[in-house]
Amino acid sequence: MNEYGMAVREEWLKTAELRDNVETDACTVMPNHIHGIVIITEGSRGTARRAPTERFGKPVAYSIPTIMRAFKSASTKRINEMRKTPGTPVWQRSYYEHVHPVR
């Protein structure tokens, strides 16, 4: 893994360190994307039956969109600092999520 991939992995691990009630599990950093598992633990608002969501322009703490936005922002900033390319996009605009509720 190159230095950019290592920065992405470090930011992935920080995701859980910075947020109560969020855990990160396995992740695989690929050459142009990442696969990872986010676990929103009991006690997070709205997790009793479903993962918290948000409406456009209204972030909700512990929602998958908010978590992913923060992760992508932090990793983009680090990569752009390393490459000396401020403001350059790193990630695609959206992401794919598949939610498995805990039963």
In a domain, 94, yes or no: no
- pLDDT of amino acid 29: 94
Kindly report, residue by residue over 34-87, the tens digit of the pLDDT: 999 998 887 655 544 445 556 666 777 778 888 999 999 999 999 999 999 999
Between CA 67 and CA 73 the distance in angstroms is 10
In a domain, 79, yes or no: yes
| CA 9 – CA 36 distance, rounded (Å) | 10
70 falls within a domain: yes
pTM as predicted: 0.80
In angstroms, rounded to a whole number, what is the distance separating the alpha carbons of residues 38 and 43?
15
The answer to the question of residue 96 being in a domain is no
Confidence of residue 99 (pLDDT cuts 50, 70, 90): confident
- pLDDT score recorded for residue 81: 98
**Does residue 100 fall inside a structural domain?**
no
SS3 state of residue 43: coil
Domain assignment of residue 21, yes or no: yes
The boundaries of the domain holding residue 62 are 3-83
pLDDT tens-digit readout, 6-29: 999 999 999 999 988 899 999 999
CB atoms within 10 A of CB 103: 4
Q: What is the pLDDT of residue 47?
A: 44
- Whether residue 103 is contained in a domain is answered as no
Residue 46 forms part of a structural domain: yes
What pLDDT, on the 0 to 100 scale, is given for residue 45? 52
Report the number of distinct structural domains present in the chain.
1
